Amino acid sequence: MGKQTISSLLYVVFILLFIIFPKSLEGTSLTYNVAAHERACFYAWADKPGEKVAFYFAVQSGGSFDIDYVVTDPRGKQVISGERERQGDFVFTANYVGEYSFCFANDMSTFAEKLVDFEITIENEPRAELPPSKGITPDQTSSMEESCLRLSSSLSTISRTQKYFRTRENRNFSTVKSTEHRILWFALLESMVIVAMAAIQVFTVKSFFNTTKRGHV
């Protein structure tokens, strides 16, 4: 393979990466602490009908790691919703241009705050025509594009796996902290009971001896 062919291949790969990655996703990844009885909403704008919207969330800590959520379109109608869910991963089509709202509600909790990690992504799929290059056939271009798409899919899978392990780690850490607090309070309660029982025993023995002395007098 000549130097011109190699440079042409690299040129096409760079163009494909530029087309697929920077322009295909417009996303927001956030972490928010939803207080008890709070309803928190976040918004994303769809520029044209038919865009793919990806919505992911996971409750990292707080209570039973569950929360209510609802997604509404620009007309105010619900797209997806759920109650007492620990996490979710959804993809839907934005059929209308405008602002989509993504709301979390922590109404079921009396005092527990919920730490929610979520991501909202607007996925566009532009199909640009590549400039002609010498030594590159349409079959080679199509093969390169498929390879780049597979690479993009693999990166998305890795990202989802990392988020899954992060969620598991945060939940396990929260469980460990909760268990430590329960053990501490149980130990304090047990110590108080032991002290109270010792005081009762001392008082009982003292009362017994006082009663015995009075009987002999």
Give the pLDDT of residue 12. 46
Identify the CATH number of the domain defined by range 3-170. 2.60.120.680
Q: Which helix (H) or strand (E) holds 194?
A: helix 138-216
Of residues 208 and 72, the one with the higher pLDDT is 72
Of the segments 126-130, 132-136, 149-153, which one has the largest average pLDDT value?
149-153
Over residues 112-124, mean pLDDT: 86
Tokens of 22: 């920077």
Tell me: pLDDT of 19 over 50. Answer: no
Report percent pLDDT > 90 for the chain.
30
Q: What gap in Å lies between CA 78 and CA 174, rounded to an integer?
A: 32
Tell which residue, 118, 121, 141, 117, has the closest CA to residue 131: 141
Tell me: pLDDT of 29 over 80. Answer: no
Give the pLDDT of residue 41. 94
- Contact between residue 174 and residue 60 where contact means Cβ atoms under 8 Å apart: yes
The average confidence (pLDDT) of the chain is 78
Give the pLDDT of residue 39. 93
Q: What is the 3-state secondary structure (H, E, C) of 129-168?
A: CCCCCCCCCHHHHHHHHHHHHHHHHHHHHHHHHHHHHHHH
Tell which residue, 7, 117, 4, 111, has the closest CA to residue 63: 111
Please report the DSSP string for 77-142 in residue order: -EEEEEEEESEEEEEEEE-SSEEEEEEEE-TT-SS--EEEEEEEEEE----PPPPP-TT--HHHHH
Give the pLDDT of residue 204. 85
Domain ranges of the chain: 3-170
C-alpha distance across the termini of the chain, in Å: 120
Tell which residue, 67, 60, 72, has the closest CA to residue 174: 60
Q: In which band, very low, low, confident or very high, does the pLDDT at 13 lie, cut at 50, 70 and 90?
A: very low
Q: What is the length of the chain? A: 217
Residues contacting 143, CB < 8 A, separation 6+: none
Of residues 94 and 22, the one with the higher pLDDT is 94
Give the pLDDT of residue 108. 80
Give the pLDDT of residue 70. 96
50 three-class SS: coil
Q: Give the model confidence (pLDDT) of 140-164 as tens digits.
A: 556 777 777 778 767 777 877 887 7
Q: In which band, very low, low, confident or very high, does the pLDDT at 128 lie, cut at 50, 70 and 90?
A: very low
